[in-house]
Structure 1
Amino acid sequence: MTTDAYLHRPRWRRVVGGFWAQLLLAFIVVGLVLTFVAKPYVVPSGSMTQTLEPDDRILVNRLAYMGSEPTTGDIVVFDADDAWEVPSRAPVDPIRAALRWVGEATGFGPSGPHTLVKRVIGSPGQTVACCNQSGAVLVDGQPIDEPYVYNDFPFEAGTLDCRTTPRSSRCFDEVTVPDRSYLVLGDNRAGSRDSAVSCRSAEAREDCWRWASRAAIVGKVVAILWPIPRSAVLG
């Protein structure tokens, strides 16, 4: 386009067609996608080993539960409330704080201090207990198949189970999941501070449970993005 033709274009077209305007538009589009559609997150701990490893970059579908609800077996990212006792981060200098903000906003740096990744086991109104005679978790009285579980608590029927003294740490009493809440466990069962972490003893209090609230669920984990050798679509 010649200089004369450019100068005769309407002012708004010259502004919108400029480099900085297009760069701003690109940031806006990316921001909308990260906010409403999909966003990368960093796995903060080893509680989901071997399905997810610490520092894996995962993709979270933020639209997965529009018109539907999480179900048993879904891996979700959620913002933990105070009951989860997530340690707060120490103050950092302004430059590091800005870099951390960029990383959290894009998903390629550390996730927020209260963002956790767990697997949904029980939904509102369902009863969950552990264990049956084979050591399986029961949802509404039926054992669920959990091939993803790694590093489970020791359990041996008749020797170390839910009726022996001492009982297996795998066991917890039946509980009904409250409304708008979800019971979530880690795949690294013996290495996860999850919904049941304070409930795995015969002396556990009725209020030992901590829940992932429906309002706090960010979305469903659908893929591992990084590192490349571990990249995979998660069913």
Structure 2
Amino acid sequence: MTATPDVAPLRPAAGAAPHRSRLRRIASHPLAHLAAALLLIALVQSFVAKVYQVPSASMEQTLMPGDRILVDRLGIAGAPERGDIVVFERPDAWRDAPRSEPSPWRAAAGWVGDLFGLGPSNGDALVKRVVGAPGDEIACCDDGGHVTVDGVALDESYVTNDLPFDADTIDCDSIPRSPRCFDPVRLGPGEFLLLGDNRADSSDSISLCRGDVPTTPACARPVDRENIVGRVFLRLWPLDRVGAP
């Protein structure tokens, strides 16, 4: 019978066990859990979904000032669709004056706020509804006072507080013309026409073109695709209004 040679058991290298023990202690520390949670929040906010606060009354009653909304950044990788509510960065054409640079402290606080969705922001985001997409011709109004896309009236049951329009009294042929009216606007590649649901109190893509003002490229303010952050899919706050907008 052949004798089995003695084999010495494998032992961890000197110092390996204490090293693993230190790693376990670090990983189990509450500060490590907090750092991991903050990192996860930052990644989600940057690439998946981001929290915004509604800045104005232009989307009432769909969204109210101060509402917290969640914006889908992944699902809008293609083009936004007509009817979507979107958050976008304010284009220069929408500004009354050039934006001033924040102080270093304010910029740092805004960076943290943008990263984690809490506190101040360095962005200048607005929220509106997509009414026209690239290639569309949008106008207002038909005989019923509706916005049309390529000659077809839109069903805009979400609109509240619309501008006055009454066929044969104050319409697109009367003098003065109804402030709801605007001449046809043809959208170019990558351009979207964004309007507020609260039409009478919304500064938007067409507000400078309404009424007796001739519709020109100078008054229409379409928004480029690159400015659009994502689609609003959930209202987070207040709690009594949580749900899809």
Structures share a fold, TM > 0.5?
yes
Separation of aligned partners in 2, 1:110 and 1:148: 30
Identity %: 49
1:206 Cα deviation after fit: 1.0
Q: Would you say 1:184 and 2:194 are equivalent positions?
A: yes
CA contact (8 A) 1:42 1:111 kept: no
Counterpart code for 1:7? P
1:138 Cα deviation after fit: 0.1
Residue 200 of structure 1 corresponds to: 210
Residue 84 of structure 1 corresponds to: 94
1:186 Cα deviation after fit: 0.1
Counterpart code for 1:200? R
Counterpart code for 1:148? Y
1:119 Cα deviation after fit: 0.2
Residue 73 of structure 2 corresponds to: 62
Alignment equivalent of 2:38, drawn from 27, 30, 42: 27
Residue 210 of structure 1 corresponds to: 221
- How many matched pairs? 229
Change (3 A) 1:132 1:205: closer
1:17 Cα deviation after fit: 4.5
CA contact (8 A) 2:26 2:32 kept: yes
The alignment's C-alpha RMSD in Å is 2.5
Alignment equivalent of 1:53, drawn from 61, 64, 80: 64
Residue 43 of structure 1 corresponds to: 54
The SS at the match of 1:232 is coil
Q: Any stretches of 5+ residues in structure 1 without a counterpart?
A: none
CA contact (8 A) 2:182 2:215 kept: no
Per the normalisation by structure 1, the TM-score is 0.87
The SS at the match of 2:93 is helix
Matches within 5 A, 1:84-163: 84-85=94-95, 88=99, 94=105, 100-109=110-119, 112=122, 114-163=124-173
Counterpart code for 2:154? I
After superposition, give the CA deviation of every residue in 1:14-42 in whole Å (9 maximum; x if it has no partner): 54444433332222111110000011100
Change (3 A) 1:111 1:211: farther
1:145 Cα deviation after fit: 0.4
Residue 169 of structure 1 corresponds to: 179
Residue 230 of structure 2 corresponds to: 219
Counterpart code for 2:197? D
Structure 1, 18-27 or 177-186: larger mean CA deviation: 18-27
Q: Any stretches of 5+ residues in structure 2 without a counterpart?
A: 1-15
Change (3 A) 1:211 1:51: same
After superposition, give the CA deviation of every residue in 1:35-93 in whole Å (9 maximum; x if it has no partner): 00011100000000110000100010111212x32111100000011100166579679
The SS at the match of 1:47 is coil
Change (3 A) 1:44 1:110: farther
